[in-house]
Structure 1
Amino acid sequence: MCTCCLDSKKPSFIVALWTFILCSEFIVRTPVQAVMVIGSSLPIFAAPGDDVILPCHLEPMFDVQGLTVEWSKPDLKPDPSDRLSRVEYVHLYRDRKEVPDMKMASYFRRTELFMDAMKHGNISLKILNVSEEDNGRYRCFIPKLRSRVKAAIVELVVDPNYAKNLTTDKPLHPKILQTPDPQDTTPRNSRSRVSVVVVIFAFISVVAVAAFASCFSDLLQQRLNKQPEDDETQR
């Protein structure tokens, strides 16, 4: 670094240097956002006989094809006659396939995941031909996910009067309510994070260019001021 920059009376270079250091520390020390399981903050409404999708996904996008995905009803108590207190699942995905042997009998052949979309973090559950017995809270859970947020809750409300509020311009059956797009693979936060990083680097670049420009300007000015003195000395 040139001596003139350190000796310059102008504080602009020092301010720019400290700004550069602080921004660099911010970028280096800012942790990568952890993967989280996200459900729906609002209940999912349906009428008896509807096909519904309980939305649940990972954010940022994360491939879960090789992990275990459990869908259960947390408010149900274990069967007292079962000494092992085994959990019965609404849907269980393990070893890259469904495990029907551990499902609740009432959900047999009525649930499915979007297998092709799981590589994009979509673990939404589709339930066919819902009834009022399906009312309640559902829990999507990834036990081996390296995250503090491994589960999310989605509430399903099956109401016989719900169909009366729907328009009759479209057929009521079959229909899918609250359906996430399985083909939508764009992570929601990735673009915003990239934009922030781009803005920070652009700011650093502008500050650095301005600082070095000020440095060389001072150096040039000193040389110009020194040249007449040298000419007088030579004379």
Structure 2
Amino acid sequence: MFSLFIAVKMAESRVHTQFKLTSEDYVEAVGEEVTLPCHLSPDTSAVATTIRWFKETECIYLYKNGQVTERSGYEGRVSLITQELERGNVSLRLRAYRESDRGVYICQVIHGEQKEEAAVCLWDRGGKCSITPVMFLTI
């Protein structure tokens, strides 16, 4: 009976929900607020994950263990839609849009050993944006 209990516990510890990140390639900034879409697929709660948003290679937003850190210049301008985390929505809301906000953003979600990334390009009318591969160092 004891060995059966251990086998069941070991099987449970190997169960891990795999997810992918989905996003749009391009988002056009219209107005003062823009949402950079990013979602876990299949719908998986992101509450217990680490979520990082990068602009180019700079981390501008970090969500970890319910705590939030925002990079200088983005304080009070960036946020997740926290009530949507349970459904896997890890989109970044950017307020008080500025021309300097244009560029490539990377959403990174880490859960256990799994790390997924998705890129979205933010541009405004007449602007151009190209997504190029970016390599990250594990922090």
TM-score after normalising by structure 1: 0.43
2:123 aligned to which of 150, 154, 157: 157
Alignment correspondent of 1:59: 41
Alignment correspondent of 2:27: 44
1:1-235 aligned within 5 A: 34-41=18-25, 43-47=26-30, 49-74=31-56, 76=57, 88-100=58-70, 103=71, 105-144=72-111, 146-147=113-114, 150-159=116-125
* Residues in 2 aligned to 1:95 and 1:145: alpha-carbon distance in whole angstroms: 13
Query: What is the CA-CA distance between 1:131 and the residue it aligns to?
Result: 1.0
* Residues in 2 aligned to 1:72 and 1:126: alpha-carbon distance in whole angstroms: 13
Number of residue pairs the alignment of both structures matches? 111
Query: What is the CA-CA distance between 1:156 and the residue it aligns to?
Result: 0.2
Deviations 1:175-234 (A, max 9, x none): xxxxxxxxxxxxxxxxxxxxxxxxxxxxxxxxxxxxxxxxxxxxxxxxxxxxxxxxxxxx
Q: Which has the higher helix share?
A: 1
* Residues in 2 aligned to 1:146 and 1:64: alpha-carbon distance in whole angstroms: 15
Q: CA RMSD in A?
A: 2.1
Indicate the SS of the match to 1:90. strand
Kindly tell me: are residues 56 and 72 of structure 1, through their superposed partners in 2, closer, same or farther at Cα, counting changes over 3 Å?
same
Aligned partner letter, 1:90: I
Aligned partner letter, 2:78: T
Q: Which has the higher strand share?
A: 2
Indicate the SS of the match to 1:133. helix
* Residues in 2 aligned to 1:54 and 1:120: alpha-carbon distance in whole angstroms: 16
Indicate the SS of the match to 1:89. strand
* Residues in 1 aligned to 2:112 and 2:23: alpha-carbon distance in whole angstroms: 16
TM-score after normalising by structure 2: 0.71
Query: What is the CA-CA distance between 1:141 and the residue it aligns to?
Result: 0.2
Alignment correspondent of 2:133: none
Kindly tell me: are residues 145 and 123 of structure 1, through their superposed partners in 2, closer, same or farther at Cα, counting changes over 3 Å?
farther
Q: Structure 2, unaligned stretches of length 5 or more? A: 1-16, 128-139
Structure with greater Cα Rg = 1
Q: Is the 8 A contact 1:51 1:130 kept in 2?
A: yes
Indicate the SS of the match to 2:118. strand
Q: Is the 8 A contact 2:48 2:111 kept in 1?
A: no
Alignment correspondent of 1:201: none
* Residues in 2 aligned to 1:141 and 1:65: alpha-carbon distance in whole angstroms: 14
Q: Structure 1, unaligned stretches of length 5 or more? A: 1-32, 77-87, 163-235
Aligned partner letter, 2:19: V
Query: What is the CA-CA distance between 1:92 and the residue it aligns to?
Result: 0.8
* Residues in 1 aligned to 2:29 and 2:51: alpha-carbon distance in whole angstroms: 24
Aligned partner letter, 2:120: V
